[in-house]
Amino acid sequence: MVYSMTGFGRAERRSGQAHFFVEMRSVNHRFNEISIRLPRELNVLEDSVRKAVQEKVKRGRVDILIVMKAENPSVTLEVNWKLARQYQEVARRMSEMLNRPDEITVQQIMALPDVVRVGEEQIDPNKYRAPLMEAVEEAISLLVSMRKKEGQALREDILRRIGFMQQLVTAIEQLAPQVIDGYRERIRARIEEYIQEQVQIDEMRLLNEVALFAERADISEELTRLKSHFLQFFQIVEEPDSIGRKLDFLVQECHREINTMGAKANHLDISQKVVMLKAELEKVKEQVQNIE
């Protein structure tokens, strides 16, 4: 099965006065890398979120943002009584030292730094585990669904290009015998032009020369391996597991065979088709790099 490494999923859940938003984005990456941002109060749930994603996403970088909004959160006023008394005592002593009757009021003490602090009720993360993980699972499902849809488009494009490359290889197979025949005719013509029928051509030496050239220019093995690689493309895309690395390896093998074939082939039409093969393979490589 072909899955793209690019996708997006978003979900939300309510639980009592808490409202959870989960957003996931995935992009290409050589490995499976997961980055999670969530409220500090829910840090203990990070491992559960990570494991849930890893079960469904085998490759790619996934960025996860979790936001929790609490409606009418319970708040408390915390008073630092020790500090308040110190402020009051300092104010009294300053009044005496400066011989001023001014007294500091309670409201003034409350306004002084760190005397009164507004605190929120401590959140029990386990209380919100279930709704949060429901939102996470829904976001994962949407993410995977998009990756699957884009993967199907990648599959169709890759197989279409592989099919075209198979046609090019068939055409090259048909042209390959012409390479030897053409070389034989060219070398015979050059010899005849040089000796101008003054000496009889040594057919045995001519055949030996042609045989040596045929051995150097033989691309039958490259064509056979290339056709085998193409068939493997069609087989691998049907496998249920992560296939991106396998396809990437196949692309490298195809590239090696095509380069060797281009170096050996001494024929204009074959060289042109080798260039077309390279161009198509480069497009296949770009698409394969997007596959999980």
Residue 96 confidence (pLDDT): 77
Residue 128 confidence (pLDDT): 86
Which is it for strands 116-120 and 7-15: parallel, antiparallel or unpaired?
unpaired
> Looking at the chain, which residues constitute the CATH 3.30.230.40 domain(s)?
7-72+124-146
CA distance 183 to 205: 14
R_g of the chain computed on alpha carbons: 37
Question: Could you read off the pLDDT tens digit of each residue along the chain, which spans 292 residues?
Answer: 899 999 999 999 988 778 899 999 999 998 999 999 998 888 999 999 999 999 999 999 999 999 988 766 566 778 888 888 888 888 888 887 777 776 777 888 888 888 887 765 566 778 889 999 999 999 999 999 999 999 999 999 999 999 999 999 999 888 877 665 655 556 555 555 555 555 555 556 655 655 555 556 677 888 899 999 999 999 999 998 889 999 999 999 999 999 988 887 777 888 899 999 999 999 999 999 999 9
CA distance 245 to 79: 61
CA distance 122 to 116: 18
Residue 173 confidence (pLDDT): 86
CA distance 59 to 7: 12
Q: Could you tell me the end-to-end alpha-carbon distance of the chain, in angstroms, rounded to an integer?
A: 10
The H or E element containing residue 18 is strand 18-27
Residues 6+ apart with CB under 8 A from 160: none
Phi, psi (degrees; rounded to nearest 5) at 179: -65, -45
Statement: the pTM of the whole predicted model exceeds 0.75: no
| Residue spans of beta strands (DSSP E) within 52-166 | 60-70, 75-79, 116-120
For 7-72+124-146, CATH number out of 3.90.1170.50, 3.30.230.40, 3.40.47.10, 3.40.50.2300 equals 3.30.230.40
At residue 71, the 3 state secondary structure works out as coil
Which is it for strands 75-79 and 32-37: parallel, antiparallel or unpaired?
unpaired
Phi, psi (degrees; rounded to nearest 5) at 75: -125, 155
Residues 6+ apart with CB under 8 A from 12: 19, 20, 21, 22, 135
Other residues' Cβ atoms within 10 Å of the Cβ of residue 175: 16
Find where tokens 């193409």 sit.
230
Q: With 0-12 CB in 10 A as exposed, 13-18 as middle and 19+ as buried, what is 76?
A: exposed
Residue 268 confidence (pLDDT): 81
